[in-house]
């Protein structure tokens, strides 16, 4: 017995949706918000405002990891200030020392 397969039934019937990239919460905002200059006074309010934006961001964790990997010494990244990241790195180093 011989079967004939018609290829027209195998033609794609659904459109292939391109996965959308998550939109960062800082997209379209003034980048200067994330780069406060100084560590006191109104600068702290600016830093808190930037961190609040980060807390709404779907990429907060990967943004923070990237900043730690790159050794970012300025700016708010992943909801952290440079001081916060120094603290994280010091804690990680201390934890590594304890386990070594």
Q: Which residues bind ligand SF4 (CB under 6 A)?
A: 24-26, 34, 53-54, 57, 59-60, 63, 77-79
- Which tokens belong to 21? 């990239």
> Least distance in Å: CB of 79 to ligand SF4?
6
> Least distance in Å: CB of 33 to ligand SF4?
9
- Kindly tell me which of 38 and 58 has the beta carbon lying closer to ligand SF4: 58
- Kindly tell me which of 73 and 97 has the beta carbon lying closer to ligand SF4: 73
Cα 35 to Cα 53: distance, rounded to the nearest angstrom: 13
> Least distance in Å: CB of 47 to ligand SF4?
12
Cα 32 to Cα 54: distance, rounded to the nearest angstrom: 14
Phi-psi region at 98: left, alpha or beta (left = phi > 0; alpha = psi -120 to 50): alpha
> Least distance in Å: CB of 19 to ligand SF4?
18
The number of beta carbons lying within 10 Å of the beta carbon of residue 78 is 22
* 72 Cβ contact list (under 8 Å, min separation 6): 82, 85
- Kindly tell me which of 7 and 67 has the beta carbon lying closer to ligand SF4: 67
């Amino acid at each position: 017995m011989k079967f004939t397969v018609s290829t027209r039934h195998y033609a794609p019937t659904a459109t292939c949706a391109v996965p959308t990239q998550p939109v960062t919460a800082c997209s379209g905002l003034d980048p200067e918000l994330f780069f406060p200059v100084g560590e006191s006074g109104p600068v702290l309010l600016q830093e808190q405002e930037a961190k609040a934006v980060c807390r709404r961001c779907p990429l907060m964790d990967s943004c923070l990891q990237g900043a730690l990997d790159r050794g970012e010494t300025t700016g708010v990244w992943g909801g952290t200030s440079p001081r916060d990241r120094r603290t994280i790195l010091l804690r990680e180093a201390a934890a590594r020392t304890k386990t070594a």
